[in-house]
Amino acid sequence: MHAYLSLENVGMEFIRGNTKSVVLKDVGLKIDRGEFISIIGHSGCGKSTVLNIVAGLLRCTTGGVLLENREVDSPGPDRAVVFQNHSLLPWLTVYDNVRLGVDKVFGKTKSKAERHEWTLRNLSLVHMDHAIAKYPEEISGGMKQRVGIARALAMEPKVLLMDEPFGALDALTRAHLQDSLMEIQTTLGNTVIMITHDVDEAVLLSDRIVMMTNGPAATIGQVLDVPLKRPRRRLELAEDPTYVHCRGEVLRFLYERHRHVEAA
Protein backbone atom coordinates (compact mmCIF):
# COMPACT_ATOMS: atom_id res chain seq x y z
CA MET A 1 0.00 0.00 0.00
CA HIS A 2 1.69 3.16 -1.17
CA ALA A 3 0.16 6.54 -0.55
CA TYR A 4 0.16 9.10 -3.35
CA LEU A 5 1.85 11.63 -1.12
CA SER A 6 3.40 10.74 2.19
CA LEU A 7 5.17 12.67 4.90
CA GLU A 8 7.44 10.31 6.80
CA ASN A 9 8.60 11.36 10.28
CA VAL A 10 9.21 14.89 9.12
CA GLY A 11 11.19 16.93 11.63
CA MET A 12 12.40 20.47 11.31
CA GLU A 13 14.91 22.42 13.33
CA PHE A 14 15.95 25.98 12.72
CA ILE A 15 19.37 27.00 13.89
CA ARG A 16 19.94 30.68 14.35
CA GLY A 17 23.28 31.63 15.83
CA ASN A 18 23.77 29.07 18.55
CA THR A 19 20.13 28.63 19.50
CA LYS A 20 18.41 25.61 18.04
CA SER A 21 14.63 25.59 17.86
CA VAL A 22 12.73 22.43 17.10
CA VAL A 23 9.64 23.44 15.14
CA LEU A 24 8.31 20.11 13.86
CA LYS A 25 8.78 16.64 15.21
CA ASP A 26 7.62 13.32 13.79
CA VAL A 27 5.02 14.63 11.38
CA GLY A 28 3.62 11.66 9.51
CA LEU A 29 0.74 11.75 7.05
CA LYS A 30 -0.45 9.73 4.07
CA ILE A 31 -2.56 11.42 1.45
CA ASP A 32 -4.45 9.73 -1.37
CA ARG A 33 -4.77 11.00 -4.87
CA GLY A 34 -7.66 13.46 -5.20
CA GLU A 35 -7.95 14.08 -1.48
CA PHE A 36 -8.58 17.52 -0.07
CA ILE A 37 -6.68 17.96 3.19
CA SER A 38 -6.75 20.99 5.47
CA ILE A 39 -4.18 21.70 8.11
CA ILE A 40 -5.41 23.71 11.05
CA GLY A 41 -3.59 24.82 14.18
CA HIS A 42 -2.73 27.85 16.23
CA SER A 43 -0.56 30.59 14.83
CA GLY A 44 3.14 29.80 14.82
CA CYS A 45 2.79 26.06 15.32
CA GLY A 46 4.49 25.23 12.05
CA LYS A 47 1.77 24.85 9.43
CA SER A 48 3.56 26.93 6.82
CA THR A 49 6.73 25.04 7.56
CA VAL A 50 5.00 21.73 6.77
CA LEU A 51 3.60 23.15 3.54
CA ASN A 52 6.96 24.61 2.49
CA ILE A 53 8.62 21.27 3.10
CA VAL A 54 6.09 19.55 0.83
CA ALA A 55 6.64 22.32 -1.71
CA GLY A 56 10.38 21.74 -1.49
CA LEU A 57 11.01 25.37 -0.58
CA LEU A 58 12.43 24.14 2.76
CA ARG A 59 14.42 20.98 3.38
CA CYS A 60 13.36 19.07 6.47
CA THR A 61 16.10 18.14 8.92
CA THR A 62 14.84 14.62 9.54
CA GLY A 63 12.47 12.32 7.69
CA GLY A 64 11.26 13.05 4.18
CA VAL A 65 8.40 13.59 1.78
CA LEU A 66 7.51 11.13 -0.96
CA LEU A 67 5.32 12.00 -3.92
CA GLU A 68 4.47 8.94 -6.03
CA ASN A 69 7.33 7.20 -4.26
CA ARG A 70 9.89 9.78 -5.35
CA GLU A 71 11.57 11.90 -2.72
CA VAL A 72 10.79 15.59 -2.82
CA ASP A 73 14.04 17.55 -2.57
CA SER A 74 13.43 20.76 -4.50
CA PRO A 75 10.52 22.96 -5.50
CA GLY A 76 8.75 22.26 -8.77
CA PRO A 77 5.57 22.94 -10.71
CA ASP A 78 4.18 19.51 -9.81
CA ARG A 79 3.64 20.99 -6.32
CA ALA A 80 2.30 24.41 -7.22
CA VAL A 81 1.79 26.84 -4.36
CA VAL A 82 -0.92 29.44 -3.83
CA PHE A 83 0.67 31.96 -1.50
CA GLN A 84 -1.17 33.80 1.23
CA ASN A 85 -0.52 37.23 -0.21
CA HIS A 86 -1.13 36.14 -3.83
CA SER A 87 2.47 36.95 -4.91
CA LEU A 88 1.46 37.98 -8.39
CA LEU A 89 4.24 39.74 -10.24
CA PRO A 90 3.13 43.38 -10.40
CA TRP A 91 4.83 44.08 -13.74
CA LEU A 92 2.89 41.34 -15.54
CA THR A 93 -0.77 41.39 -16.49
CA VAL A 94 -3.19 38.84 -15.09
CA TYR A 95 -2.79 36.87 -18.30
CA ASP A 96 1.00 37.05 -18.31
CA ASN A 97 1.23 35.99 -14.67
CA VAL A 98 -0.56 32.76 -15.54
CA ARG A 99 1.14 32.43 -18.90
CA LEU A 100 4.61 32.57 -17.31
CA GLY A 101 4.00 29.27 -15.54
CA VAL A 102 2.21 27.74 -18.52
CA ASP A 103 5.11 28.54 -20.84
CA LYS A 104 7.56 27.10 -18.35
CA VAL A 105 5.67 23.84 -17.76
CA PHE A 106 4.25 23.21 -21.23
CA GLY A 107 6.88 25.00 -23.34
CA LYS A 108 7.98 21.73 -24.94
CA THR A 109 4.72 19.78 -25.00
CA LYS A 110 2.12 22.32 -26.13
CA SER A 111 2.11 24.65 -29.13
CA LYS A 112 1.87 28.39 -28.66
CA ALA A 113 -1.81 28.41 -29.53
CA GLU A 114 -2.48 25.58 -27.12
CA ARG A 115 -0.68 27.40 -24.33
CA HIS A 116 -2.73 30.52 -25.01
CA GLU A 117 -5.89 28.43 -24.95
CA TRP A 118 -4.84 26.71 -21.73
CA THR A 119 -4.05 30.02 -20.01
CA LEU A 120 -7.49 31.36 -20.89
CA ARG A 121 -9.18 28.14 -19.82
CA ASN A 122 -7.64 28.33 -16.37
CA LEU A 123 -8.51 31.98 -15.99
CA SER A 124 -12.12 31.25 -16.87
CA LEU A 125 -12.10 28.41 -14.35
CA VAL A 126 -11.62 31.00 -11.61
CA HIS A 127 -13.97 33.46 -13.35
CA MET A 128 -11.24 35.93 -14.19
CA ASP A 129 -11.44 35.82 -17.98
CA HIS A 130 -12.91 39.33 -18.02
CA ALA A 131 -9.76 40.94 -16.61
CA ILE A 132 -6.90 39.26 -18.44
CA ALA A 133 -5.29 42.54 -19.55
CA LYS A 134 -5.37 44.14 -16.10
CA TYR A 135 -2.37 44.52 -13.83
CA PRO A 136 -2.53 43.04 -10.32
CA GLU A 137 -2.86 46.43 -8.66
CA GLU A 138 -5.96 47.15 -10.71
CA ILE A 139 -7.95 44.23 -9.34
CA SER A 140 -9.32 43.48 -5.88
CA GLY A 141 -7.72 41.23 -3.29
CA GLY A 142 -10.20 38.44 -3.99
CA MET A 143 -9.51 38.65 -7.71
CA LYS A 144 -5.75 38.53 -7.10
CA GLN A 145 -6.21 35.38 -5.08
CA ARG A 146 -8.29 33.90 -7.93
CA VAL A 147 -5.48 34.63 -10.36
CA GLY A 148 -3.01 33.06 -7.93
CA ILE A 149 -5.14 29.93 -7.94
CA ALA A 150 -5.37 29.96 -11.73
CA ARG A 151 -1.60 30.32 -11.98
CA ALA A 152 -1.11 27.28 -9.75
CA LEU A 153 -3.82 25.20 -11.45
CA ALA A 154 -2.47 26.03 -14.90
CA MET A 155 0.75 24.24 -14.03
CA GLU A 156 -1.33 21.06 -13.71
CA PRO A 157 0.22 20.16 -10.37
CA LYS A 158 0.09 16.71 -8.84
CA VAL A 159 -0.54 18.42 -5.51
CA LEU A 160 -1.94 21.90 -5.05
CA LEU A 161 -0.57 23.60 -1.96
CA MET A 162 -2.38 26.56 -0.46
CA ASP A 163 -1.13 28.58 2.50
CA GLU A 164 -4.12 30.39 4.00
CA PRO A 165 -5.28 31.31 0.50
CA PHE A 166 -8.28 33.29 1.73
CA GLY A 167 -6.80 34.52 5.00
CA ALA A 168 -6.61 38.16 3.93
CA LEU A 169 -10.11 38.38 2.48
CA ASP A 170 -13.42 39.57 3.91
CA ALA A 171 -16.04 36.97 4.81
CA LEU A 172 -18.21 37.43 1.69
CA THR A 173 -15.35 37.28 -0.79
CA ARG A 174 -13.97 34.34 1.09
CA ALA A 175 -17.28 32.46 0.76
CA HIS A 176 -17.35 33.17 -2.98
CA LEU A 177 -13.84 31.84 -3.39
CA GLN A 178 -14.58 28.76 -1.32
CA ASP A 179 -17.51 28.02 -3.61
CA SER A 180 -15.32 28.50 -6.66
CA LEU A 181 -12.71 26.23 -5.19
CA MET A 182 -15.27 23.48 -4.51
CA GLU A 183 -16.58 23.83 -8.05
CA ILE A 184 -13.05 23.52 -9.46
CA GLN A 185 -12.36 20.59 -7.18
CA THR A 186 -15.43 18.78 -8.55
CA THR A 187 -14.24 19.19 -12.14
CA LEU A 188 -10.52 18.61 -11.70
CA GLY A 189 -10.28 16.33 -8.65
CA ASN A 190 -6.94 17.76 -7.57
CA THR A 191 -4.99 16.58 -4.58
CA VAL A 192 -4.95 19.60 -2.29
CA ILE A 193 -3.30 20.59 0.97
CA MET A 194 -4.70 23.80 2.36
CA ILE A 195 -3.70 25.65 5.50
CA THR A 196 -6.45 27.55 7.24
CA HIS A 197 -7.35 29.27 10.47
CA ASP A 198 -11.04 29.03 9.76
CA VAL A 199 -12.89 26.05 11.22
CA ASP A 200 -15.91 26.37 8.91
CA GLU A 201 -13.69 26.62 5.88
CA ALA A 202 -11.85 23.48 6.91
CA VAL A 203 -15.03 21.46 7.43
CA LEU A 204 -16.72 22.77 4.32
CA LEU A 205 -13.88 22.02 1.94
CA SER A 206 -11.96 19.05 3.28
CA ASP A 207 -12.09 15.31 3.12
CA ARG A 208 -9.82 15.20 6.14
CA ILE A 209 -8.72 17.83 8.63
CA VAL A 210 -5.24 17.59 10.09
CA MET A 211 -5.01 19.29 13.47
CA MET A 212 -1.60 20.30 14.74
CA THR A 213 -0.49 20.63 18.33
CA ASN A 214 1.16 23.79 19.54
CA GLY A 215 4.87 24.32 19.08
CA PRO A 216 7.65 24.03 19.86
CA ALA A 217 8.13 20.56 18.45
CA ALA A 218 4.63 20.60 16.99
CA THR A 219 3.20 17.46 15.46
CA ILE A 220 -0.10 16.11 14.22
CA GLY A 221 -2.51 15.86 17.16
CA GLN A 222 -5.55 14.43 15.45
CA VAL A 223 -6.84 13.71 11.96
CA LEU A 224 -10.56 14.09 11.46
CA ASP A 225 -12.54 12.53 8.61
CA VAL A 226 -15.25 14.73 7.17
CA PRO A 227 -17.77 12.22 5.75
CA LEU A 228 -20.00 14.82 4.08
CA LYS A 229 -21.32 14.07 0.61
CA ARG A 230 -20.36 16.32 -2.27
CA PRO A 231 -21.44 18.64 -3.71
CA ARG A 232 -21.66 20.51 -0.45
CA ARG A 233 -23.78 23.58 -0.07
CA ARG A 234 -23.01 25.88 2.83
CA LEU A 235 -26.63 26.80 3.57
CA GLU A 236 -27.85 23.22 3.81
CA LEU A 237 -24.83 22.18 5.85
CA ALA A 238 -25.39 24.64 8.67
CA GLU A 239 -27.83 22.26 10.36
CA ASP A 240 -26.40 18.98 9.09
CA PRO A 241 -25.54 16.82 12.16
CA THR A 242 -22.32 15.52 10.60
CA TYR A 243 -21.22 19.05 9.85
CA VAL A 244 -22.04 20.24 13.35
CA HIS A 245 -20.21 17.27 14.81
CA CYS A 246 -17.05 17.83 12.75
CA ARG A 247 -17.06 21.48 13.55
CA GLY A 248 -17.39 20.69 17.25
CA GLU A 249 -14.50 18.24 17.08
CA VAL A 250 -12.16 20.80 15.57
CA LEU A 251 -13.21 23.50 17.99
CA ARG A 252 -12.73 21.16 20.93
CA PHE A 253 -9.27 20.27 19.70
CA LEU A 254 -8.24 23.87 19.23
CA TYR A 255 -9.82 25.43 22.29
CA GLU A 256 -9.85 22.67 24.92
CA ARG A 257 -7.09 20.22 24.29
CA HIS A 258 -4.57 22.49 22.64
CA ARG A 259 -5.48 25.89 23.85
CA HIS A 260 -2.90 28.40 22.69
CA VAL A 261 -1.00 29.26 25.87
CA GLU A 262 -0.12 32.81 24.89
CA ALA A 263 -3.53 33.48 23.40
CA ALA A 264 -5.24 33.43 26.79
Per CB under 6 A, residues contacting ligand ATP are 14, 16, 21, 23, 41, 43-49, 215
Phi then psi for residue 49, to 5 deg, are -60, -45
52 near Mg ion (CB under 5 A): no
Minimum Å gap between C-beta 14 and ligand ATP is 3
Question: Binds 100, which of Mg ion, ligand ATP, other proteins, none (CB < 5 to 8 A, cut-off by type)?
Answer: other proteins
Q: In Å, how far are 84, 200, 253 from 173, measured between CA atoms?
A: 15, 15, 27
48 near Mg ion (CB under 5 A): yes
Any idea how long the chain is? Answer: 264
Strand 220-225 to 62-67 pairing: unpaired
228 near other proteins (CB under 8 A): no
Position among 135, 168, 175, 242 found at the interface with other proteins (CB under 8 A):
135
Position among 44, 63, 64, 77 found at the interface with other proteins (CB under 8 A):
77
Minimum Å gap between C-beta 173 and other proteins is 21
83 near other proteins (CB under 8 A): yes
- Judged by the rule CB under 8 A, the positions of this chain that interact with other proteins are 55-57, 74-77, 79-81, 83, 85, 87, 89-92, 100-101, 104-105, 135, 137, 155
